[in-house]
Structure 1
Amino acid sequence: MVGRGLRRIVGGISVFALAGGFATTVGIGSAAAASESVSWSNASTKITRTVSDTTASVGQIIEVKTKFERSGSLEIIREVWDYHPSCWEFVDSNKSNPRVESDYTKVSGSWNVWPNISPNSQTFTFEYRVTEDCARDTQLTTGMGYASGLRTGDFRTKGPNVTVAKNNSTTSLATVPGPVPTGVPVTLTATVTGGAQGDPVDFYDEGTKIGSGQLNSSGVATYEWTPPEAGTRSLQAKFPSTAKAKSSQSGTQDVTVTDVATSLEVSAPGTAITGEPVELTAAVSPVEAQGTVQFFDGGAPVGDPVEVVGGAAVLSHAFAAAGEYSVSAEFTGALGFTNTSAAPVAVAVADVVTALEVEAPSTADTGDPVELTAQVSPTDAPGTVQFFDGDVAIGDPVEVAEGAAALAHTFTAAGEHAVSAEFTGAPGFTNATAMPVTVAVADPDVVTSLEVSSPGTAVAGEPVELTAQISPADAVGTVQFFAGHVAIGEPVEVADGAASVSHTFAAGGEYGISAAFVGAPGFTNASAAPVPVTVSDVSSVAITSSPSATADVPFTLRAEVMPADAAGTVQFFESGLKIGDPVEVVDGVAELVYTFNSAGPHEIHVVYSGGPGVEGATSQVQVLEVAASGGMGTGSLGSLGL
């Protein structure tokens, strides 16, 4: 736009009455625009630069003019640069087609400036709007540059400099409806003009800061205020000065704060048992009330005051004696809450009903102590138990512990005895009587002992005698013999203190022989420690070599042992004389190479030595016919082959 009128915004002071509160506006004052110019020469060219207002405000339109004048020859201006703060926003220029950049505006053309004829000057005008991005109370630099047919000039910091004033602000505090209850949060709301989102607003009570809030995008800040005590409070909101805005504050607002009225109700079970805890409860309204509750039994305090939590106070209490009780409570409120009391409720307290049961063995021996026991219910009932034999007290009363009382007692006479008991309860517990139980008492049985005996070794298949000796010798009863845990035959009647049985072991091995005595009435049972018996298997040995041989020719004598896995040695004999050394049995066979030196019949037999778990054995005599080798023999027994 060429030749247009220029505009600017002038600040002022105003006072607003906002709905629901008061606001005070602090302005920069009413004054004319502070226009400023600066001039200088570049050779024969005089340059004058004028800024319409060097103390600007946000939103204001700033007009910048640069005037060229000549005192020499003609100068043709080709380009002009107008340098400005980057926080200014371009609005208009008196030259067409300006090039707008963040910190300068450039125009290009051909403008003549004559020293003495028209046009003898050229003026370049630019308008900018001041934005929120500008720093406040800080000098912002302006300047220009140009290029002509004669020369160029760079004066980008020549000025005039501009200072942007802080924003005016207003602060209002919304009306707080009263009265306000003590301890109940109330939202304080402040509205600020001239501030920015995130700026702080401080809230005050009687000149004391109570908290802060931050402005939102609508210029509103809030704070949750909880009045600490009753009375009239003077509230105010204050917006402190920021980098871009001036401070302001609301008017004060008086708010009445009152204590919160409370009520109390006590509850307790209608009945209770002495010594058993019950729960006393007091419900406080409102539930957020703070304080303590003191419970009472009649006019006597019950325990210590109980802190109220979640609108309730609970106390566990055990009544010491039976009777009618009146339970009440009093609430002492914390700061901000009134005191209150609850109407009493009745509690009927009775003693704990007990039961008693006596236990004793059904039989007993004279002279032997037995345990008499009484079980008391409930198990926590304290008191004593007196035991009786018929109507006669047995010993002294016994203290009950964990629901039981026990007494060791020795009956001195045989017969049937009726054992009973009586429980005397401690305060708070009833007495109780147990039904009698019968104990059949007899004189004690004669104590017996038993010892078993048997041979230390035996051969499988051959009978041995097992014997048990009972003491005393006149004991009557039976004896059962055992091999390990296996019974041997039937029980054997005891005669003259002894019992015996003939037993044949079926197989070899190690056996533990024991016995158990079952006494007839009047005699105790008894058992005997086991005795070991080593049983060997039966073996056999036979000559299995050929029945004929030839003199002076080596001959193999052969013997077979049964069982085939038996270990040991075999000794060969001729006519009762040993032939060589004993031969080791291998896989049930023993062999010996022997040369007979004479012809005729030879009597051969062998003897098996026996081995682990196997008895030794002797073969039958075998007559071996030895034939002549073609000549007469020497008559000697023979020789072993090598």
Structure 2
Amino acid sequence: MKAHIGTGGSWHGPANQILTVKLPAVATTTQAISVTPSTGRVGEDVTLSTRVTANHGTNTPTGTVRFTVDGQTRTATVVNGVATTTTSFSTTGSKSVTATYVPGDSNQWSGSSRDGTVDIRTEATQTNLSLDPVEVLAGGTIQASASVNPAGAEGEIEFSAGGDPARVPVDADGSASVELPSDTTGEMTVTATFIPADPQRYTESSDSQTVDVYEQTSTSTEVTVDADPVQAGQETTLTATVSPEAAAGEVVFTIGGQTYPATVSGGTATLEHTFLAAGQHVVVADFSPSDTDRYLASSDQVTVNVESEATQTALTLDPVEVTAGGVISATAQITPAGADGQVRFDYGDQTQTVPVEESQAGTTFTARSAGTGTITATFLPAEPDRYSGSTDTRTVDITAETTRTTLSLDPLEVTAGGTVLASATVTPAGAAGTVEFTAGEETVSVPVGADGTASAELPAEAAGLLTVTATFVPASPERYTASTDSQSVNVQAEATRTAVTVGTDPARPGEATTLTATVTPAGAAGSVTFTIDGQTYPAQVTDGIATLDHTFATVGDHVVDAAFTPTDTGRYTGSTGQMTVHVGTETTQAALSLDPVQVTAGGEVTATARITPAGAEGQVHFDFVDQNQPDQSQTVDVTDGQAVATFTAPAAGAGIITATFIPADPQRYTGSSDSRDVNVEAESTQVGVTVGADPVRVGEETTLTATVTPAGTAGTVTFSFDDDDNADDSLGGDENGGSGREFTVDVIDGSATLTHTFPAAGDVVVVATFSPTDTDRYAPGTGRTTVTVEGEAVAEDTSVSLDAPDAEAGEEITLTAEVTPADAEGAIRFTIEGEDHLVPLVDGVATLTHVAGGRGSYTVRAQFVPADPDAHSPSEAIEILTVVDDGDPGTGPDPGADEPTTGSLAFVGLVASLAIGAGSSGSLGSLGS
């Protein structure tokens, strides 16, 4: 602090002087440190504050207070003399705090400090345990739930109940639960202990509860009835006694599938019940405890005997002896008289139920079968709980009913092998069964129809007297008796017939033929004796047929007799047959076929003669007559019914071929003949025309060749042109001194050649006409072709496109030249600063790979060098190759500058020396300086 003191008249110093005095800083006091809350908790904020006061004066100090506590430093600004800060602690205990005041102006205020303590403690927790249930059956489980206060306290709850403890994390709401087993009976203590995750922050706490663990108690149930036996329809009391007596619950009585519940009171449950039916009734009592956890269920049963009033049934029958089919009357008398109900009458498989009226019931039955019949009457009470049933049985004697069988036969005379219709009539008509018809060894069983009749066809196999018997066999011998009847029929032997046929007509001498005797009926067994020209030949009959293979030696008519002798003369009669066989020579037929029927001169004709019949042996004489050639003939043996000859047709014209069969045995076969026409044509020729040059140019010689086939054909070829402009008189005219449009040339070794010059361009049709020397052997032929005559050759224009990309010095790049049209063959000569490199074209493209030299601009020339200068013209393209320094931003020298630049280009890649155009060096060098 400075003080300025003014001078008065008494001041002896110089006038207008100022005196500066420096005062000391004002002392301060740091008050006691205030802690809020007074007792802090681990992890919770604690507010520290202190007040700084001046020891003198009224001014309030300014500056900051530095709080040092538990290794931490907090600085707070003094506001109105107070400095406040907030901190927290991770451990418990008494923590020392120092508050040091640091003045904002040390000339004005002096510093001060104050020590204090902060008490940090753990927070107490409280654990509350609840159990459900508090009584539990041994072996069950207890639901234990615990809640921790404060709810934010993190950690686990350890539940223990005598066994191994179980730890469960505390939920966000401060709760945890677990299921604990109750294995032993008695009082069980359950404890829940909270174990904090941060023991510095929260304390442990616990709570305990007890639960009663009990075992289930067995019960027993006994059911009794107050009377035994019980009368049907009378009420009786059923009692179920349950022990222990304290077991409350319900007893369900089950009687005849019906249930009746009753409440247990004082250990007993009762039921008043009326049994409606007599007999033994099982009563079951099932006890169900109200407290199923404490008591077990139990049951018991008793059999109740229920009696009804006895009845008596007396049965009488009328008559007691009856014939099968008769009627039996049955009457049942029921006592006591008041018993209502029905009587069921049983007789064999017949049953009838009749109501009881005035103590009796009656019905009738038909006595179906002989023997002893039993009828039973059974009383069925309407009130079985009031009356019992009863029964009675009686027997009756039943005799079988007599039957009669009457037999009739149709016809009474029959031929052996025929049948007899046997008809039997059985009386009475309702008698069911079968009739057995017997005729000799044959027996046929036929069911009796509803009208009492039965019929059967019986065979009559052998001649003589045949006895037929009909026997009725009843289906129910107890109902009807058997009966029989017999009749006789006269059986005569069956007549036969024999017919004779021959296999071939006419037959041929010396050739076997088959004689057949057919005997009817076909089943007649035996033999046939054939008689021919006084000779006999026996043959066995099989399936009505007897055959004889016979060869007639002479021509003429021969009588054949056939006599049949049956094996069973009692069954069949004998018979004979006759026929006349005609024997003569056999006519043959020759059928001629040609292949081909139209043939080319010089070709062959195959003649085939087929002889029928196929067995005819001999020869065929073939004659080929043609006006243009000498006659030809061949004689060929017949093999397998045919003969084949081949003739040559040397010249064109019409001919005829005749085939004549000459039999080896004229007595056995006749001769025969056939003819066919043959048309022989001249052999056709073909002429092919070819041109030697391609293309053909105006004024240039070219060779025209005519090729004649077949190759051995002699003659001349005349070349002619359809365009007068292309007739070259200087080459000579035809042999007749024509205009010069035709040129005749001899054929030598199958071809004729003409050297010709076309004077004008255009399409010219060249015709080559062949004239054969031997017109009988060959036909003329013509060939033609169109010749396109072109003017003088003019090379096709080409163009070159060149791609020379910019490059950096030392960079490898590719130069590409493309030629149009793409089919132009040849090479590209790349020229850079006088250095040539020849690269062949591939599909119209040539490429050259090189490494750029120094910075500069270079002229690149790509010149197309055609492989065929007559076909394609040369062309070229020029590009400027710009090379910049490595790393140059891309700007090169001014392409228009007059001053040349220096540098070098090093080329790498494929450089070829081609033998087209100008020669080039095969080496790579440096371009530029």
* TM-score (norm: length of structure 1): 0.53
2:774 paired residue number: 521
* CA distance in 1 between partners of 2:648 and 2:503 (Å): 49
Aligned positions of 1:319-358 closer than 5 A: 323-326=556-559, 329=562, 336-344=571-579, 347=582, 349-355=584-590
Aligned positions of 1:87-236 closer than 5 A: 102-103=351-352, 105=354, 107-109=356-358, 128=364, 130-132=366-368, 135-143=369-377, 156=391, 158-194=392-428, 199-206=433-440, 208=441, 210-236=443-469
| CA pair 166-271 structure 1, distance change in 2 beyond 3 A | same
Mapped pair 1:571 → 2:828: yes
Larger radius of gyration: 2
CA contact (8 A) 2:528 2:546 kept: no
* CA distance in 2 between partners of 1:255 and 1:211 (Å): 17
Per-residue CA shift, 1:556-612, capped at 9, x if unaligned? Answer: 999975xx45253443599xx995434747789999xxx9979xxx9x9743236xx
Q: CA deviation at 1:60?
A: 2.8
Mapped pair 1:581 → 2:835: no
* CA distance in 1 between partners of 2:613 and 2:580 (Å): 31
Per-residue CA shift, 1:193-251, capped at 9, x if unaligned? Answer: 25757622211234x55111001101112222122222211111112354343442323
Aligned positions of 1:423-442 closer than 5 A: 423-425=661-663, 426=665, 428-432=668-672
| CA pair 205-215 structure 1, distance change in 2 beyond 3 A | same
* CA distance in 2 between partners of 1:142 and 1:362 (Å): 111
CA contact (8 A) 1:197 1:214 kept: no
Q: CA deviation at 1:68?
A: 11
| CA pair 304-543 structure 1, distance change in 2 beyond 3 A | same
Mapped pair 1:58 → 2:324: yes
Which residue identity is paired with 2:479? A
2:640 paired residue number: 401
CA contact (8 A) 2:689 2:707 kept: yes
User: Which of the pair has the greater relative contact order for Cα pairs under 8 Å at 6+ separation?
Assistant: 1
| CA pair 619-314 structure 1, distance change in 2 beyond 3 A | farther
Mapped pair 1:477 → 2:715: yes
In the alignment, structure 1 segments of 5+ residues that lack a partner are 1-44, 70-74, 90-101, 111-123, 482-488, 506-514, 526-534, 547-555, 623-627
* CA distance in 1 between partners of 2:416 and 2:743 (Å): 99
The one of 296, 307, 314 equivalent to 2:543 is 307
* CA distance in 2 between partners of 1:141 and 1:490 (Å): 139
1:385 paired residue number: 619
Mapped pair 1:609 → 2:867: yes
Count of aligned pairs between the two proteins: 483
1:500 paired residue number: 753
Q: CA deviation at 1:291?
A: 5.5
* CA distance in 1 between partners of 2:344 and 2:503 (Å): 90
Which residue identity is paired with 1:225? L
| CA pair 501-205 structure 1, distance change in 2 beyond 3 A | same
Partner SS for 2:640? coil
Partner SS for 1:173? strand
Mapped pair 1:542 → 2:797: yes
Partner SS for 2:418? coil
| CA pair 459-78 structure 1, distance change in 2 beyond 3 A | closer
* CA distance in 1 between partners of 2:337 and 2:596 (Å): 140
Per-residue CA shift, 1:62-117, capped at 9, x if unaligned? Answer: 45578999xxxxx968779776544799xxxxxxxxxxxx435555338xxxxxxx
Which residue identity is paired with 2:753? S
* CA distance in 1 between partners of 2:800 and 2:331 (Å): 152
CA contact (8 A) 2:816 2:845 kept: no
Which residue identity is paired with 2:443? I
Per-residue CA shift, 1:361-415, capped at 9, x if unaligned? Answer: 9999xxx99777451443625222154789x99787512433x21356899xxxx
Aligned positions of 1:227-266 closer than 5 A: 227-243=460-476, 244-264=478-498
CA contact (8 A) 1:386 1:421 kept: yes
Partner SS for 2:470? strand
CA contact (8 A) 2:508 2:586 kept: yes
CA contact (8 A) 1:232 1:256 kept: yes
* TM-score (norm: length of structure 2): 0.39
* CA distance in 1 between partners of 2:349 and 2:503 (Å): 81
Per-residue CA shift, 1:315-371, capped at 9, x if unaligned? Answer: 89998775334456555668644332334356565522434659799999xxx9977
2:66 paired residue number: none
Q: CA deviation at 1:474?
A: 12
| CA pair 494-216 structure 1, distance change in 2 beyond 3 A | same
* CA distance in 1 between partners of 2:361 and 2:593 (Å): 122
Which residue identity is paired with 2:865? V
* CA distance in 2 between partners of 1:640 and 1:524 (Å): 82
Q: CA deviation at 1:176?
A: 3.7
Q: CA deviation at 1:494?
A: 2.7
CA contact (8 A) 2:716 2:747 kept: no
Partner SS for 1:240? strand
CA contact (8 A) 1:145 1:154 kept: yes
Q: CA deviation at 1:129?
A: 5.2
Which residue identity is paired with 2:364? Y
CA contact (8 A) 1:292 1:331 kept: yes
Deviation larger for 289-298 or 320-329? 289-298
Which residue identity is paired with 1:609? A
CA contact (8 A) 1:80 1:144 kept: no
| CA pair 289-569 structure 1, distance change in 2 beyond 3 A | same
Per-residue CA shift, 1:242-263, capped at 9, x if unaligned? Answer: 4343442323222112233344
| CA pair 298-609 structure 1, distance change in 2 beyond 3 A | same
| CA pair 586-79 structure 1, distance change in 2 beyond 3 A | closer
| CA pair 540-159 structure 1, distance change in 2 beyond 3 A | same
* CA distance in 2 between partners of 1:474 and 1:67 (Å): 139
* CA distance in 1 between partners of 2:380 and 2:845 (Å): 136
Seq. identity, % = 18
In the alignment, structure 2 segments of 5+ residues that lack a partner are 1-310, 625-630, 720-740, 759-767, 779-787, 802-814, 849-856, 878-894, 902-925
* CA distance in 1 between partners of 2:325 and 2:578 (Å): 71
Partner SS for 1:56? strand
